[in-house]
Amino acid sequence: MIRTILRYPDKRLREKGVRVPAITSEIKQLVDDMAETMYAAPGVGLAATQIGEALQIFVIDVAEENEPSDLRVFVNPEIVETQDRIVWSEGCLSFPGINEDVERAARVVVRAWDREGKTFELEAEGLLAVAVQHEYDHLQGVLMIDHLGLLKKRLVNRKMQRRNETDSP
């Protein structure tokens, strides 16, 4: 089922996700809904907090359009290692139409559970590393705008206010 993606400045985007105690049929359904919502948007990642579910879950698929799907599910993720720095032009489904340069770690190691509850560790770089950090931030109540300087924050704020005003009925 496609869920509604919260838009900035919705206060629920600032909620921290709580740890998932166990993988249940409800959690699996939420993961499926998140993947369907992300693909429909379309985006490369979606955190549970972006659809109003304050849980430590995100999904990512950075496969190119002409490649097969590479859906990755992260439940209770922890970034255990970071290395080097990179600046990447990021977008966010909660900030439609906005892209900004954000500095992040160039390489990360993340540990999480998959959709079945099995623990895995993933070493990522490039877009996958950026997406992991971006979605992990969402679970901490941290948004893309928090990585910007004051002037850029104000500009993004104004753009989102105008967009939200024109999109509301």
Can you give the pTM of this predicted structure?
0.95
State the catalytic residue, choosing from 65, 103, 135, 165.
135
pLDDT along the chain (169 residues), means of 10: 97 98 98 98 97 98 92 98 97 96 97 98 97 98 96 94 79
From residue 125, give the alpha-carbon distance in Å to each of 1, 74, 77, 85, 153: 31, 16, 16, 11, 27
- On the question of a cis peptide bond just before residue 96, with omega within 30 degrees of 0, the verdict is no
- For this structure, is 135 an active site residue? yes
Domains of the chain: 11-167 (3.90.45.10)
Residue 59 confidence (pLDDT): 98
Closest CA to 160 of 119, 102, 24, 148: 148
Helix (H) or strand (E) holding 38, with range, is helix 25-40
